[in-house]
Amino acid sequence: MSAPNKSYDPVEVEALKPEEIERMRDEALAAFAAADSLDALHEAKVAHTGPASPLALANREIGALPRTPRPRPASGWAWPEAP
């Protein structure tokens, strides 16, 4: 059995730039527009919206970011006071 990997940080991700997201969107739209058969359309769909697509991987990275839990009221429901 191996020792735990202490240098691995699953939360360390590079922020996506809006230009990069727009480029990926434009590539996907171009691939869908260029599809001339159902097979080509399926390939474009898998490449741009499938589980291994760049946007799906980016979405997983967003889900891996740490979140700060919201404080709960002492008892019952109460809206937090405005700052």
More confident residue, 20 or 11: 20
Cα 45 to Cα 32: distance, rounded to the nearest angstrom: 8
Question: Region 11-35: what's the mean pLDDT?
Answer: 84
* CA distance linking residue 25 with residue 83, whole number of Å: 39
Determine the average pLDDT of the residues in 58-79: 71
User: Using 50, 70 and 90 to split pLDDT, how confident is the model at 29?
Assistant: very high
pTM of the model: 0.56
Mean pLDDT for the chain? 78
pLDDT for position 44: 94
If you write DSSP's letter for every residue of 28-56 in order, what string do you get?
A: HHHHHHH--SHHHHHHHHHHHHSTTSHHH
> When comparing pLDDT for 78 and 12, which is higher?
78
